[in-house]
Amino acid sequence: MMDPCTEEGWIAAWRALGLVAPTGLHAQLLTAWSEPQRHYHTLQHLGECLALAEVLREQMARPAEVIIALWFHDAVYDVRAHDNEAQSAQWAERALLGAGAAADVRKRIIDLIMATCHGALDAPPSSPDVALLLDIDLAILGAPEPRFAEYEAQICAEYSWVPLDVFAAKRPEVLRGFLARERIYAMDTMHARFEAQARRNLSHAAGIS
């Protein structure tokens, strides 16, 4: 399977919006996603998101906007910060504005990026494309057991600066928060594909029998 992070797909997404991809931006994003403090929020995660987005393309109203939003959704990632999504959205806004994107296009892409804020997880998605992007971002929760275990280890590594006893207490709370939701995945396709496995993974990781 072709690497979904290649420049070809990136350029094609901009072209679908009637725009020219900003020179050098693809390389800048690859560098950002490869920063040493990242263990989960890496090119592996981006590639998984982009590959799944391609599978779901026909369900999207504006697939090019979803693709560009995915490229930017964790482009800025400081595990100690609380404004990564806002910083990522601002980067996207500057790039889109410089490329001549229309105001409505910019707003939809920014809304897609900002929807991935942790505080927004329980808010109803504002559009089907937002719902799909959120489901794609959370698909890791419904991954096969070996990949989910790898994900948990990667998250632990990203939070290695947190005292171990604090992390051990807080992480299960986060996982139980997902389990408490009526549906982890909003879209029926994603719910059918990932929901049951996600609940098994989360229950095991949270210590719930």
Structure pTM?
Answer: 0.95
Find the domain containing 175 and state its range: 138-209
Please report the pLDDT score of residue 80 as a whole number. Answer: 92
User: Tens digit of pLDDT for each residue in 48-95?
Assistant: 999 999 999 999 999 999 999 999 999 999 999 999 999 999 999 999
The total domain count for the chain is 2
**How many CA atoms within 13 Å lie on the side-chain side of 66?**
26
Domain boundary among 74, 94, 121: 121
Domain endpoint, select from 62, 86, 121: 121
Query: Could you tell me if 108 and 60 are in contact, meaning their C-beta atoms sit under 8 angstroms apart?
Result: no
Q: Per the domain annotation, does 87 fall within a domain?
A: yes
Closest by alpha carbon to 45, among 91, 93, 2, 4? 4
Rounded Cα gap, residues 89 and 71, in angstroms: 11
pLDDT in tens, 24-58: 999 999 999 999 999 999 999 999 999 999 999 99
